Amino acid sequence: MTTKRPYRNSPLLLSVLCLLVSGLLAPACSTSRTYVWASQLPAPDVNAENAIRPGDRIQIAIAAQDTMSGEFDVRPSGDVVLPAAGRFIAAGKPPDVLAAELANRLRGVLADPKVAVLIVTRKLATVSVLGEVKTPGRFQLSDGETMLDVLARAGGLTTFADEDAIFLIQHGKSTPRVRFRYPDLVGADPRSIRFPLRDGDIVIVE
């Protein structure tokens, strides 16, 4: 006597299971695969690259006002407290733009304020490199070092690395991952080679 198995190989059951699995996996897949090619992004803004960053140390010189001038650390929140001018946001602004803003603010205190701002020291970025590189880890970069420099710090790609699947996860940003091609980096593609790296960024080589 043969026992019936009414649901075995049932087309309806298989269809339902497929729909359930695809429904569960689709959101995760779409999220994990979201990226934008570095070579297709706009060219980096020179002013943004030269902007003051959290952790930098800046010098503010106000003509004939020694007690108001000096060196100041930019807090992690991006602000600085200056005597007579109070708290202001410095991060994200080039030095000349910040100098103009401070001069405007001080016009209520000084008759003709003349302000100069200079970046004294940069906070060095620390970037993590994971995946198919020879020496994964966290690396402190000098100012101006590029993605290619970061990969060199990690010993270069392994023989199993996909040269078209180098991803950057940007710290503190909700934007998609940025995808790089190794040939674009060694070929000095302007948008790839000059892409700015920030403290806390993560590079993943698949």
Instruction: Choose the CATH number for 54-121 among 3.30.1950.10, 3.40.630.40, 3.40.47.10, 3.40.50.1370.
Output: 3.30.1950.10
What does DSSP assign to residue 74?
P
- β-partners of residue 129 are 137, 203
**Rounded to two decimals, what is the model's pTM?**
0.68
Percent of the chain with pLDDT over 70: 79
Give the CA distances from residue 155 to residues 44, 84, 114, 134, 181, in Å, rounded to whole numbers and listed in that order: 26, 50, 49, 5, 17
**Averaged pLDDT score across all residues of the chain:** 83
Second CATH level (architecture) for the domain 124-205: Roll (3.10)
> d(Cα 80, Cα 89) in Å, to the nearest integer?
6
More confident residue, 49 or 86: 86
- Strands, sheet with 126-131, edge to edge from the N-terminal-most edge strand: 35-37, 177-180, 166-169, 202-205, 126-131, 137-140
pLDDT above 50 (res 27): no
Nearest to 192 by CA among 201, 182, 200: 182
E strand or H helix that includes residue 47 = helix 46-49
> d(Cα 84, Cα 90) in Å, to the nearest integer?
16
More confident residue, 9 or 113: 113
Backbone angles phi, psi at 115, to 5 degrees: -125, 140
Across the range 182-188, mean pLDDT stands at: 93
pLDDT above 50 (res 28): no
Length of the chain, please? Answer: 206
Numbered ranges of CATH 3.30.1950.10 in the chain: 54-121
Give CA torsion, residues 204, 39, 141, 143, to 10 deg. -160
Amino acid letter at 198? R
> d(Cα 188, Cα 9) in Å, to the nearest integer?
55
Could you give the residue ranges of the DSSP H alpha helices within 110-206?
Answer: 147-153, 182-186, 190-193
pLDDT above 80 (res 12): no
**How many Cβ atoms sit within 10 Å of the Cβ of residue 85?**
20
More confident residue, 128 or 14: 128
Numbered ranges of CATH 3.10.560.10 in the chain: 124-205
Pick from 3-12, 52-61, 93-102, 174-183: least confident: 3-12
E strand or H helix that includes residue 36 = strand 35-37
3-state class of 60 per DSSP?
A: strand
